[in-house]
Amino acid sequence: MTQIVNGYRCENCTDVSNAKRGLDPENPTHDPLKQEKLDRERGRVPEPAVTFTGRLAGLVRDEAPAGPVARLLDISA
């Protein structure tokens, strides 16, 4: 049975306990990567921190290339 406790959707007694303490039952550890995933699933897309206008507007890419950062660093030199 689904319950709403403190504005959080709870599926079981552990979720209810977390919600009573003010923790999001879907992300009780406050993991930022998991929170971004949950926000995207719910349709909440964060606004960019900085918006460039004028001549700088064309220089900004929409998204950074995906891939591990370690591959971009050359440590052999």
The torsion angle over the Cα atoms of residues 35, 37, 42 and 43, rounded to 10 degrees, is 110
Question: Which residues span the domain enclosing 43?
Answer: 1-48
The whole-angstrom separation of Cα 34 and Cα 43 is 14
Question: What Cα–Cα distance (Å) separates residue 21 from each residue in 14, 17, 56?
Answer: 11, 7, 45
Question: Does this model's pTM top 0.85?
Answer: no
- Give dist(CA 70, CA 67) in Å, integer: 9
* Res. 13: pLDDT tops 90: yes
Within-domain flag for 37: yes
pLDDT at 62: 60
**Overall domain count for the chain:** 1
Answer whether residue 60 is part of any domain. Answer: no
pLDDT of residue 61: 64
Q: What is the pLDDT of residues 21-67, one digit of tens each?
A: 988 888 888 888 888 888 888 888 777 788 888 888 877 666 655 55
